[in-house]
Amino acid sequence: MSRPFFIALAGLVVIAIAISMSVWTRRHDELASSPATSTATQAPPAAEAPTAPSFDIVRINPQGETVIAGRAMPRAEVVILDGGKEIGRVIADNRGEWVFVPDQPLPAGSRELSLRASNPDGSTSQSDSPVVLVVPDRTNGPATSLAVKVRPDGSIDILQGPEAKEGSGTVSIAGAHYDSRDRLSLTGTATPKAQVQVYLDEHPLGRTQADAQGRWHLSPKTALHPGNHTLRADEIGPDGKVKARAEITFTPIGTLPAGGKVTVEQGNCLWRIAREAYGSGYDYLVIYQANKDQIRDPNRIYPGQVFAIPDKR
């Protein structure tokens, strides 16, 4: 895989991770403000809370055609929401499984999908793990989309993206998510069941094992200073030696001076740069418009490029 293409995929991942951080923070605050539920006595089965609807699959092919599937209470009516706006509804079968295929391809851009269910007993429930989608512009041809599920604890599952290379035997770092509570959530791929040793700035961060599909996840608690950090993942072979290695540069959300300039480094993307400069990744178009002579595709920027960071009006 060429270096620019790898960086483009990494940039796409970081866009979604930046969105997911704000999604998780909002969800966490909502949970923190909710009254605690007593567990002193166990409720009988008939009084159990309804099964919340959840996403299992979100797949978008290069032409933008989408398949969304998940689970809910059997025979529940599940409403699929795009940023709070309904895009479709479906009835779960007798096993609680449902599948939804939109009539039209999803438009390019970043969005958050969530679920609401009307259950047969008259109750309603909502998903607690939204999916963040990044659908690239397909003007210049088919392109890879990214789907990231954000769990209530802040960890992430990449439903679609660079992990499509599962089981290839080449270790990768697919996503990095750092929250305000000093939790670093990392995910990637390796040979199924292989041991993966992770390093932060050349210091051991932890070891984990890839699952049967070749996916690995590590969530250590560590305080990161502003600026660039190097993440490295080593796949350890049966003989205890390094079999494969992946390395990326990760930059926690910080502050960039508006009105100045920034040099693109490995792992950067327009969403992250806008988030640092203006406090919102959605303002990436401000930077894009100011640097259109250098940026042919907002999803593809390269190390060494120097972008102006204009004052946002």
Residues 6+ apart with CB under 8 A from 191: 167, 169, 171, 210, 214, 235, 243, 244
Residue 179: what pLDDT? 64
| CB half-sphere exposure, 253, CA atoms < 13 A | 25
Q: What is the pLDDT of residues 199-235, one digit of tens each?
A: 999 999 999 999 888 888 888 888 877 667 888 999 9
Q: What's the CA gap between 303 and 266, in Å, rounded?
A: 5
Higher pLDDT, 259 or 43: 259
Residue 8: what pLDDT? 43
Asked if the model's pLDDT at residue 16 lies above 60, the reply is no
Q: Would you tell me how many other CB atoms lie within 10 Å of the CB of residue 239?
A: 6
Q: Would you tell me how many other CB atoms lie within 10 Å of the CB of residue 47?
A: 7
Asked if the model's pLDDT at residue 47 lies above 70, the reply is no
Under the banding of pLDDT at 50, 70 and 90, the label for residue 158 is: confident
Closest CA to 80 of 108, 61, 106: 106
Q: What's the CA gap between 229 and 224, in Å, rounded?
A: 8
Q: Which SS3 state, helix, strand or coil, does residue 271 take?
A: helix
Share of the chain above pLDDT 70, in %: 68
| CB half-sphere exposure, 15, CA atoms < 13 A | 29
Residues 6+ apart with CB under 8 A from 32: none
Q: What's the CA gap between 194 and 206, in Å, rounded?
A: 14
pTM of the model: 0.48
Q: What's the CA gap between 276 and 76, in Å, rounded?
A: 42
Q: Name the DSSP letter for residue 11.
A: H
Residue 33: what pLDDT? 44
Q: What's the CA gap between 171 and 245, in Å, rounded?
A: 6
Under the banding of pLDDT at 50, 70 and 90, the label for residue 38 is: very low
Q: What is the mean pLDDT of residues 181-193?
A: 82
Q: Would you tell me how many other CB atoms lie within 10 Å of the CB of residue 313?
A: 4
List C-alpha distances in Å: 98 to 75, 76, 198, 244, 267: 9, 9, 37, 39, 36
What sign has the CA pseudo-torsion 18, 10, 56, 217? negative
Closest CA to 184 of 217, 148, 233, 216: 217
Closest CA to 142 of 67, 63, 65, 66: 63
Please provide residue 253's backbone torsions phi and psi, each rounded to the nearest 5 degrees: -60, 125
Higher pLDDT, 208 or 143: 208
Q: What is the mean pLDDT of residues 179-197?
A: 82
| CB half-sphere exposure, 132, CA atoms < 13 A | 22
Most confident of 156-170, 232-246, 250-264, 293-307: 232-246
* Mean of the per-residue pLDDT values of the chain: 75
Residue 74: what pLDDT? 94
CB 166 within 8 Å of CB 138: no
Asked if the model's pLDDT at residue 97 lies above 80, the reply is yes
Element (H, E) at 90: strand 85-91
Give me the domains of the chain, ranges plus CATH numbers: 1-30+51-161 (2.60.40.10), 166-253 (2.60.40.10), 261-308 (3.10.350.10)
Instruction: Output the six-digit token pair for 152.
Output: 């209530």
What type of residue is 308?
Answer: A
Cα 310 from chain centroid (whole Å): 28
Residue 35: what pLDDT? 44
Q: What's the CA gap between 9 and 267, in Å, rounded?
A: 9
Under the banding of pLDDT at 50, 70 and 90, the label for residue 37 is: very low
Closest CA to 129 of 145, 111, 153: 153
Residue 70: what pLDDT? 93
Share of the chain above pLDDT 90, in %: 25
